[in-house]
Structure 1
Amino acid sequence: MIDKQKLIARFISYVTIDTESDPNSETTPSSEKQWNLAKKLAKELEGMGMEDVSIDKNAYVMATLPSNVGHEVPTIGFISHFDTTPDYTGANVNPQIIENYDGKDIVLDAKENIVLSPDYFEDLLLYKGQTLITTDGTTLLGADDKAGITEIMEAMKYLLAHPEIKHGKIRVGFTPDEEIGRGAHKFDVEKFGADWAYTMDGSQIGELEYENFNAAGAKVKVKGKIVHPGYAKGKMVNSMLIANEFIAALPQYEIPQETEGYEGFFHLYSISGKVEETHLEYIIRDHDRQKFEDRKALIQEIAATMNKAYGRAVIELELKDQYYNMREKVEPVMHIVAIAEEAMKELGIKPLIKAIRGGTDGSQLSYMGLPCPNIFAGGHNFHGRYEYVPVESMIKATEVIVKIAELTAEKFDR
């Protein structure tokens, strides 16, 4: 039985450490403060009796739980990231614990009237009667992905305390900078040495994912000309207005708030500018590889068409692929998904097998030779003040890790 109070205490000890990553930094980790949690995790792994504990120059943490069976079992891994998104502040996180949630509004910040309401966030009603951990309305929580870290740590502690549960060699890994798309960039797959792994980085209980978006980023520089507005006739070129044209040329409804399931999108997430120069930043997403390539071709075509229309290069476009759909790498080894699915069913959890509308370290790791499906960590409403996690979901995720380890040893006992 997983100790609920100790799990809560561990989780809170992690989320109260600010680990916000920095997309503008060239270092790894991208922010110095990520070292604080990385070092804490390495120390805790050593303290609980894990072997081969290491923390490299880029803050990647790895450790081993040795096999306790005599037969050969594939080495499996469990991975989570310790950075939090730069989309919303992760400084001074002050978690609120809601015992026996009654299904009503939760006031996060009475002064600012910030309310977590089931009228808007309907998933809250799934957890009536459970213990929720929320923000205080001023920060994110950090369950993405400190819930995953907590679950892996608690699972390893449980397996160490219960040697009667048979398992093969297990590797754990904790990474920086996942939230800015670099979590797997310097992950040493060969050193990790697992046959396959699972990222504990999903959302609601039951999620099991082996498909994700193909992803690219686009930086658009729009160039204008500044002259005195009183004498601008035929001379001024307002880059902000040209930027508006560019935005309007993309499909109006192919944006995050209008899409779901396997539907892709263009997402304008940053805009800044003056008359002389405006900068737009987009992410481009689609599960289907051909549709993904078509999206990139469209944004290039729009830039070329506008440049031709203006008779000069008013648009400069920088397009860069970020990651690809892991399905291509996981389908040849679908038994690794089947084991996770079986583990959930044995624990009374209904598997929710669906495509990730996002990315995960697992997508990059799969293309680096480490097939890596994604399993729920339990949180909801990531990347903002309305983030919360049910403690019972975290306990179930911990139990899934233990059960996967047990089932893997059983299935290879021949």
Structure 2
Amino acid sequence: MQHIIDRFLKYVKIDTQSDPNSKTTPSTEKQWLFAEELVEELQEIGLEDVSIDDNAYVMATLPSNIDEEVPVIGFISHFDTSPDFTGTDVNPQIIENYDGKDIVLNALDDIVLSPDYFEDLLQYKGQTLITTDGTTLLGADDKAGITEIVTAMEYLIDNPEIKHGKIRIGFTPDEEIGRGAHHFDVDTFGAEWAYTMDGSQIGELEYENFNAAKAKVGITGKSVHPGYAKNKMVNAISIATEFLEILPPEETPQHTEGRQGFFHVDHLKGEIEHAEFEMIIRDHDAAQFEERKQLLRDITSKLNRIHGDCIVLELEDQYYNMRQRIEPVMHIVGIAKKAMEAVGVAPIIKPIRGGTDGSQLSYMGLPCPNIFAGGHHFHGKYEYVPVESMQKAVEVIVKICELVAANR
């Protein structure tokens, strides 16, 4: 277990935040540092065909150790961390034999990770937790996944008595800004199917996710002295407020769960002469997804009729529900489920309230269910990961490789 801890701590201390405003791939230069270190490590542990391309996508091969032909499978994780919260100078804390009580992350700023608020903590009583120091995110999303994949490959190399076919692994930049699979070379990867190690709590196994789009609304106003503004002023801030008030108030992230979709405004700024806001649109159901986008178009048309063509709406699809591409090959989900059960992990099969590289890759011809990486409360200062969950993820990866070879 110490080996997993050491590897994970090494990874998370390297800042790899992505940048949604960048047009390059990777979106930040600092992701290159991590990618290049990964290449060296993969070579050192004995993997073959280790490569890094012009966009920092890293791939490697564990050759088959059996004579029979079996499907080539893969495991994929991303190495960028979220731009939602700082990932600079990550200083992890290790909590051994967690006692089920409050964990003081930062005494100076009174930042506490408490089971009174985060009830999931209680299921890890007695285990070893890795937390933040309250000033950064941790980066378990998805450096826990990378830790698990690399450790599993190393274990298979060191234990050749475990029979397996050819295994491909891949590590991607920019997943957190929705571009992790944009330049992934599925043909070069050469797997029949793969698994992303990018889920949360132990046991998660997911093969459906949101359909996703983003919207940007720009509003042009006209500033006039407020004392003489009647029938002259066009207040862009007021129109932005009017637009948002038409959206169903209960269909936001804080009011939805399971397969329920939502609208989520994540950026808003404005003055009288110009206002703009950005939002994401999410829904598991394809028809309802289209209805949500149409609602934004309808609101835009309605307010433009009232206020005089002052609103511009930009809509862009981001990714789609991978369920459509996984259902024809559901045996790959069955293998993961069987692997979990074999190592003592109870599978939790549920829809992802988000997306992974696997959703895009599935539409690119590489079906990719998602498996737990073990972390909780990603993208913020309360993020943590139980080491025992990472260990179980390693065991699941190894068992999947073993089961695919056994079913030849």
TM-score (norm 2): 0.99
Q: Distance in 1 between matches of 2:373 and 2:106?
A: 26
Q: For residue 354 of structure 2, what is the aligned residue in structure 1?
A: 358
Q: Distance in 2 between matches of 1:109 and 1:304?
A: 49
Select which of 387, 390, 393 maps to 2:389: 393
Q: For residue 331 of structure 1, what is the aligned residue in structure 2?
A: 327
Amino acid at match of 1:71: E
Select which of 302, 326, 349 maps to 2:299: 302
SS in 1 for 2:138: coil
**Cα offsets for 1:18-42 (capped at 9, x unmatched):** 0000000000000000001000101
Amino acid at match of 2:203: G
Q: Distance in 1 between matches of 2:190 and 2:211?
A: 26
Q: For residue 208 of structure 1, what is the aligned residue in structure 2?
A: 205
Select which of 16, 34, 37 maps to 1:37: 34
Identity %: 71
**Cα offsets for 1:46-95 (capped at 9, x unmatched):** 11110000000000000000000010010000000000011111011000
Select which of 149, 164, 168 maps to 2:165: 168
Select which of 141, 163, 175 maps to 1:178: 175
Amino acid at match of 2:229: A
Tell me how far 1:233 sits from its aligned partner. Answer: 3.5
**Cα offsets for 1:223-254 (capped at 9, x unmatched):** 11123344433322111111000110000000
Q: For residue 147 of structure 1, what is the aligned residue in structure 2?
A: 144
Tell me how far 1:120 sits from its aligned partner. Answer: 0.4
Tell me how far 1:272 sits from its aligned partner. Answer: 1.1
Amino acid at match of 2:362: S
Tell me how far 1:100 sits from its aligned partner. Answer: 0.4
Q: For residue 364 of structure 2, what is the aligned residue in structure 1?
A: 368
- Is the deviation greater in 179-188 or in 224-233? 224-233
Select which of 264, 276, 281 maps to 2:278: 281
Tell me how far 1:159 sits from its aligned partner. Answer: 0.3
Tell me how far 1:222 sits from its aligned partner. Answer: 1.3
Q: For residue 23 of structure 1, what is the aligned residue in structure 2?
A: 20
1:253 aligns with 2:250: yes
Q: For residue 266 of structure 1, what is the aligned residue in structure 2?
A: 263
Q: Distance in 1 between matches of 2:225 and 2:242?
A: 23
Q: Distance in 2 between matches of 1:62 and 1:337?
A: 23
Select which of 227, 230, 236 maps to 2:233: 236
Q: Distance in 2 between matches of 1:102 and 1:236?
A: 61
- Matches of residues 315-330 of structure 1 in structure 2 within 5 Å? 315-330=311-326
Q: For residue 134 of structure 2, what is the aligned residue in structure 1?
A: 137
Amino acid at match of 1:307: N
- Is the deviation greater in 273-282 or in 50-59? 273-282
Amino acid at match of 1:365: L
**Cα offsets for 1:248-295 (capped at 9, x unmatched):** 000000000000001000000110111111111010000010010111
1:384 aligns with 2:380: yes
Select which of 4, 14, 23 maps to 1:7: 4
Q: For residue 411 of structure 1, what is the aligned residue in structure 2?
A: 407
**Cα offsets for 1:289-329 (capped at 9, x unmatched):** 0010111111110111111112x212110001100000000
1:111 aligns with 2:108: yes
Select which of 345, 348, 356 maps to 1:349: 345
TM-score (norm 1): 0.98
Amino acid at match of 2:394: T
Q: Distance in 2 between matches of 1:259 and 1:233?
A: 41
Select which of 289, 293, 296 maps to 2:290: 293
**Cα offsets for 1:117-139 (capped at 9, x unmatched):** 00000000010000000000011
Q: Distance in 2 between matches of 1:277 and 1:132?
A: 47
Q: Distance in 2 between matches of 1:286 and 1:234?
A: 40
Select which of 219, 222, 228 maps to 2:219: 222
Q: Distance in 1 between matches of 2:165 and 2:185?
A: 21
Q: Distance in 1 between matches of 2:338 and 2:9?
A: 30
- Is the deviation greater in 97-106 or in 230-239? 230-239
- Matches of residues 72-87 of structure 1 in structure 2 within 5 Å? 72-87=69-84
Structure 1 segments, 4+ long, off by >6 Å, are none
Query: Where in structure 1 are there 5+ consecutive unaligned residues?
Result: none
Q: Distance in 1 between matches of 2:223 and 2:104?
A: 49
Q: For residue 53 of structure 1, what is the aligned residue in structure 2?
A: 50
Q: Distance in 1 between matches of 2:18 and 2:143?
A: 14
Q: Distance in 2 between matches of 1:332 and 1:20?
A: 35
Q: Distance in 2 between matches of 1:377 and 1:123?
A: 15
Give the number of equivalent residue pairs. 408
Calculate the aligned-residue CA RMSD, in Å: 0.7
**Cα offsets for 1:93-128 (capped at 9, x unmatched):** 000000000000001111111110000000000100
SS in 1 for 2:170: strand
